[in-house]
Structure 1
């Protein structure tokens, strides 16, 4: 951050301009994650995440909820990223770890472990010893939204965090797995604004979609892979099966130069 800026010119955590001002200035993922977790730029999301953390679900009454924006999870040298939708009110908003503490996360981590990208098949809480191998998990919206539906305005306000995270990963990033249409539609503009040549018309989301974005100057091409989101609605109906998700993750691992099971 530029300390020479006049007092009052730097947006605070509750200002809409906070992500756009601060995220691009971060020089590492640790700094980015620390700033992100203090963000209060979207009043509706702040109110909802804090209400869920205060009221709690009956099964978790004895637990202290995280109740803040949930940062990405995974190593800074990841060659593969997985982009979802947003934390769940009693999942990531409770545990403080992306995709942790709900059924969708259980499904995803089982698939990551099956491919060899996670050290264990479950992710229960931030201190459970889980590590990821060559993959980082993130989302376009970092606060739990009511009914799992962020507004377009909330998505756009939060997008600088995703843009900065991908930029910090960009030296090694080779593939991005996008879980669901919301993440796909949120990611494409972020990549275009970062200078990536996104095809026109923009590629349509679908399970198994594979789009190759040309290399930028001094960089390498980037592969976008689509998968249905591992929501209970999709997994219970068989729209997304474990073999389907494993196949997409295994392809991403190969593109990212990662050993896969």
Structure 2
């Protein structure tokens, strides 16, 4: 889900900033392009909080990383650089916070931002996101995600995962410790996953293939397809939609 976003950026540790602009039709349309880099040593950091207004976010774990490294690609129109805030700071509780926001009025302003974050793979992450797609991969620490809108994709995660999502598709592959998925709308796809997971879904189809662990589902609407679960499957509620459940090694209960 690619979309236009609002933002702003000032970095705590700015490794490099570059700005380029293009003007069309005698300054009627002026798009500014900017890159920002932030870095914070991870030696004493025990957790990372990410708070974003809007924009796409990519988080990659690296077992050899010794710092949290952030790169932001920003495109904007009618927005001053100082109105785009991007900070990476350490707080007093051995945690770091990455924050982005835009302090400008709505109107003819335009901001489109993509943030890429490289972190030590084992670092726990708590993410609060307004809008935009989220892509997280190669992480072994606990992940807590609260998202208003935009697609979520998790790949190759080994830490405990909790997701609370308002809208947008959720796609999870090769994740071994799922605990909670709460979703108002959008498709849920899980493949080669694990953990005793509770899924609360309002609307949207659900596909679960090759899961190790118990699965508990409450669903209001949408199809449910479950194929190959090494554990128990409990469907507490299922409002509407087709259902296919097969290859469950434990018990299968539907209320």
With the shorter chain as reference, the TM-score category is under 0.3
Higher strand share: 2
Kindly indicate whether structure 1 or structure 2 has the higher relative contact order, using CA contacts under 8 Å at least 6 residues apart: 1
* Bigger radius of gyration: 2
TM-score, normalization by structure 1: 0.23
